[in-house]
Amino acid sequence: MNDYTIVRDGSDYVVRAGEKSVLKISSRRRAAKLVTDAAELLQRQPVLSAEEATSIVPDLGAITE
């Protein structure tokens, strides 16, 4: 995961991947650990096509109550 940053937002830290905020957490150390863990998992996993990825990840916008 080469394009990430951890920025302070008040008393929390926000992990940003590129231009998107992906995680908000209260500990900078924990944020860095999670980014490292995610990078390791991404290296182990084969790259999926966009079609394969959408079949695995549900469209959360479609959920209604």
The residue extents of the domains of the chain are 1-45
| Residue 57 banded pLDDT, cuts 50, 70, 90 | low
Helices (H), 1-65: 28-44, 50-56
Indicate the Cα dihedral angle 49, 19, 60, 52, nearest 10°: 0
| Cβ 45 vs Cβ 4: under 8 Å | no
Does position 24 have pLDDT exceeding 60, yes or no? yes
**For the CA atoms of the chain, what is the radius of gyration?**
14
- Residue range 22-34: mean pLDDT, rounded: 93
Mean pLDDT for the stretch of residues 44-54: 71
The pLDDT of residue 65 is 46
- Which pLDDT band, with edges at 50, 70 and 90, does 61 fall under? low
